Amino acid sequence: MTVSNSLTTEELALIFEGDQTQPMYVYQDTVPAELQVLKSNCIAIDPQDANVKMLIARMFKTVTDGDRAGVGIAAPQVGLNRRLFLVKRFDKANEPFEFFINPQITWYSAVLQQGEEGCLSIEDRYDAVYRSLAVQITYFDLEGNHYQEVVEGYTAVIIQHEYDHLNGILFTDRIEEQEQRKYEDATLETPLVYEV
């Protein structure tokens, strides 16, 4: 897949604004202009654009910033409607943060899990959301190499939350949507066993 979506002058100004060693400002749902960005669909980004590396570095600094630290962050949360997010990999040794450029979730498991979620863009709200237990995701790295993997558990939840951001969906939207549905608890006679 060849992507030719170069960053705009305005986007570059945002990435290089102020001290590049500091976290970026996180857009909030309480500010109408910022909510408009958060609720917009994102477009692809050129993984080989040299400036994407700086964007990833600044997003990492933002998501790991002290009291406001999170487990994932998407580009629209820092003002760029681009298809890029970072996720903490609880499914890997040392729980590293990894970036996903132009990700696409190609499969969602029918089995769901419910867990409490919050968001750096929505202050002081945590609520239960149903998410698929596992997803299959494709994405690119900085060299334009394409990857595909299946992710399960809490990391899959984070991926779905961040992926929603790229489509203008907040976790509060999912809560409203899910209030209209009915779910059944599945009781397993034999517990699930995960090989490590």
Distances from the Cα of 189 to the Cαs of 113, 130, 134, 192, in angstroms?
17, 22, 20, 9
**Is 165 assigned to a binding site?**
yes
Band of the pLDDT at 1, cuts 50, 70, 90? very low
Of 21 and 166, the one with more pLDDT: 166
Query: Domain-by-domain residue ranges, the chain?
Result: 9-179
pLDDT tens sequence across 133-155: 999 999 999 999 999 999 999 99
Determine the straight-line distance between the first and last CA of the chain, rounded to whole angstroms: 33
- Residues catalogued as catalytic: 162
Mean pLDDT, to the nearest integer, of 52-66?
96
Alpha-carbon distance of 116 to 127, in angstroms, equals: 5
Alpha-carbon distance of 120 to 73, in angstroms, equals: 8
Residue 131 near residue 151, CB atoms below 8 Å: no
Band of the pLDDT at 5, cuts 50, 70, 90? confident
Alpha-carbon distance of 125 to 196, in angstroms, equals: 34
Token pair listed for 140: 């690119």
Band of the pLDDT at 68, cuts 50, 70, 90? confident
Q: What pLDDT does 128 receive?
A: 93
Choices 3.90.45.10, 3.40.50.300, 1.10.260.40, 3.40.50.1820: CATH for 9-179: 3.90.45.10
For tokens 């419910």, the residue is: 114
Alpha-carbon distance of 144 to 138, in angstroms, equals: 12
Beta bridge partners of 129: 115
Task: Write down the mean pLDDT value for the chain.
Answer: 91
For tokens 């696409």, the residue is: 104
**Is 161 assigned to a binding site?**
yes
**Is 146 assigned to a binding site?**
no
One-letter identity of residue 150: V
Q: What pLDDT does 194 receive?
A: 38
Instruction: Single out the residue of 180, 73, 87, 176 nearest to residue 128, CA to CA.
Output: 176
Q: What pLDDT does 182 receive?
A: 66
Alpha-carbon distance of 22 to 60, in angstroms, equals: 10
Is the pLDDT at 2 greater than 50, yes or no?
no
How open is the CA angle 124-61-5, to the nearest 5 degrees?
100
pLDDT tens sequence across 153-188: 999 999 999 999 999 999 999 999 998 876 666 555
pLDDT tens sequence across 70-129: 999 999 999 999 999 999 999 999 999 999 999 999 999 999 999 999 999 999 899 999
Q: What pLDDT does 169 receive?
A: 97
Alpha-carbon distance of 119 to 14, in angstroms, equals: 21
